[in-house]
Amino acid sequence: MELRTQKTVIAVAAVLSLVLWPVQISSAFGLPAHPLLLHVPVVFVPILGIAVLVGIAKPSLFGTPLAAFAVVTLAATLLTVGAGEAFLESQPRLEGNPKMKDHEGAGETVRFCMVLLTAALVGLLYVKHRVVTTILKVLAVLLALSAAGFTIRAGHLGSSLVWEDQEQLTESSK
């Protein structure tokens, strides 16, 4: 496939992935979807962050593969956040829990960072002006670091919620 066609496909896929924003998958294979889906962005977002940092050292890496990976990561992130919203609706006991609010906020931040990071990386496919390219690269690094950091935070808070709940169940059964 020609490079210009690849760039167009990636840009269109990035825009189309935004259709996933309101999607709330509640279950997959009879299990809650959020715990199943979350593993994709938990792995992909930090890898994307590292790839963006490596791209600073080797600018030729800012290109179609990195932008395409960002689109896939964005789609997985959007589905995961939507599944988390659906999961929360099915767990009224978590409503109002401060740790849950922090987890939810971190997930929302990852979603916004991924949208903006993907836009910056797709923009780099098209921009040829040196100053704009530099600005997009700086934004990409900042957004990649933010997305990775908030992914780690959301994962830590989410796992704390699950394991504290398990500990409470174990304590109450004694």
Q: Is residue 169 scored above 60 in pLDDT?
A: no
Q: Are 103 and 158 in contact (CB under 8 A)?
A: yes
Q: Are 174 and 65 in contact (CB under 8 A)?
A: no
Domain with 124 in it = 3-173
Question: Which pLDDT value is given to residue 133?
Answer: 93
Structure tokens at 98: 């401060």
Give per-residue pLDDT as tens, 2-37: 988 999 999 999 999 999 999 999 999 888 999 999
Per-residue 3-state assignment (H helix, E strand, C coil) for the chain: CCHHHHHHHHHHHHHHHHHHCCCCCCEECCEEHHHHHCHHHHHHHHHHHHHHHHHHHCHHHCCHHHHHHHHHHHHHHHHHHHHHHHHHHCCHHHCCCHHHHHHHHHHHHHHHHHHHHHHHHHHHHHCCCHHHHHHHHHHHHHHHHHHHHHHHHHHHHHHHHHHHHHHHHHHHHC
Give per-residue pLDDT as tens, 109-157: 999 999 999 999 999 999 999 999 999 999 999 999 999 999 999 999 9
Smallest Cα–Cα separation from 165: which of 94, 92, 85? Answer: 94
Give per-residue pLDDT as tens, 38-79: 999 999 999 999 999 999 888 887 889 999 999 999 999 999
Q: Is residue 1 scored above 90 in pLDDT?
A: no
Structural domain count, the chain: 1
Give the residue-averaged pLDDT of 89-98: 86
Q: How confident is the model at residue 94 (pLDDT cuts 50, 70, 90)?
A: confident
Tell me phi and psi for residue 31, to 5 degrees: -115, 160
* Cα separations in angstroms, 109 against 29, 77, 151: 28, 11, 9
Question: Which pLDDT value is given to residue 171?
Answer: 60
